[in-house]
Amino acid sequence: MPPALRDAAVGRGLSAHILPTSATMIGVCMTVLSIGHLRQGGPSRMVLDKLLAVDALVFLASAVLSFVSMRSRYHGPRHETWAEVVFLMGLAILAIGAMTLAFTIA
């Protein structure tokens, strides 16, 4: 396969979906983080704040890896795999944050 076609094939992979979705999830983390400051503080809020801040960084890492995978000529598939793994870790952390938020509201 010619390099130009191989590069185009890498760019059409999963990374093309991970990059915008990761950016959106950073916005979700920041929104929940700022909404959390509308209620009374406590130890659970501090834990949730830290969890969401770390999660935003995880999604940032996923976005960077997916961008690098689209731009890389030779290591694109490896970066794409790492972007996928990091993105799924970010989703898991977000789910833990949602559970924490749900149980502290009640």
The model's pLDDT over 7-61, given as tens digits with 9 standing for 90+, comes to 545 445 888 899 999 999 999 999 988 887 777 777 778 888 899 999 999 999 9
Count of C-beta atoms within a 10 Å radius of residue 6: 13
∠ CA 54-97-29, nearest 5°, is: 55
- pTM of the entire structure? 0.82
Q: Which stretch of DSSP H or E encloses residue 25?
A: helix 15-36
